Amino acid sequence: MDLFQAIKERKSIRAFKPDPVPREKIEEILRLVTQAPSAINLQPWEFIVVMGGERERLSRRLIKSYHEKQISCSPGNVKPLADTFSKRGVESFELMNPYLEQMGAQFDRFINEGSCNFYGAPVAIIMCLDNAFSKARLVDIGVGLGYLVLAAYGFGLATCPIGLITAYEDDVKDVVNIPENKDVVISAALGYPDWDSPINRFKTPREHLNSFVRWVE
């Protein structure tokens, strides 16, 4: 598949078929992910691939914790966001709502429980970072995630990055036996997209390049 085509066409999927993904295919994707650049080639990423009954067990635990703690998806900002950023978020919610209405779904519940359930994907990939590294190495994890979503798309699979699970890190570590010296950074749902679901017709728009770029010559 053409790389530029994949970059333009790929989008986050929030409804998956239950069909299992062959382990060999996941391994091929992760081999491509490890080609991503990292500072002085530290390759700090670590992947926990959760499948089958263990993925379902993890989701049950996360949904239970969500109902108890009510920690919801958010941008995670530490200061008030500028209006420009807040406006983009509101617009995304407004554009998604008509698709949710077709499904009879309520936004907060769909997004939060959906995140805890990896939107029904048969595979959850949890990306971890040894806490001996500085927070600067989170950049490398982000680059790896970018490779992951594009590599998966190239194999005919869909993804959705999910950050909410970091709010329930203790539960994640307990269920899949992640050592205390590893930080859960982000996860990605992985599977075959269910194109019959209205939510998968939704795609967030992108701003004009002038909104992000300042030229210094």
Per-residue model confidence as pLDDT tens digits over 69-121: 988 887 666 577 788 888 888 888 899 999 999 999 999 999 999 999 999 99
Per-residue pLDDT tens for 25-70?
999 999 999 999 999 999 999 999 999 999 999 999 999 999 999 8
Q: Which pTM does this prediction carry?
A: 0.94
Handedness of CA 168, 185, 199, 190 (dihedral sign): negative
pLDDT at 130 over 60: yes
Which CATH number is associated with domain 3-70+83-201? 3.40.109.10
Query: How far is residue 12's CA from residue 163's CA, in Å, rounded to a whole number?
Result: 13
How confident is the prediction for the chain on average, in pLDDT? 94
Q: Which two tokens stand for residue 114?
A: 């959906």
Which has more confidence, 90 or 185? Answer: 185
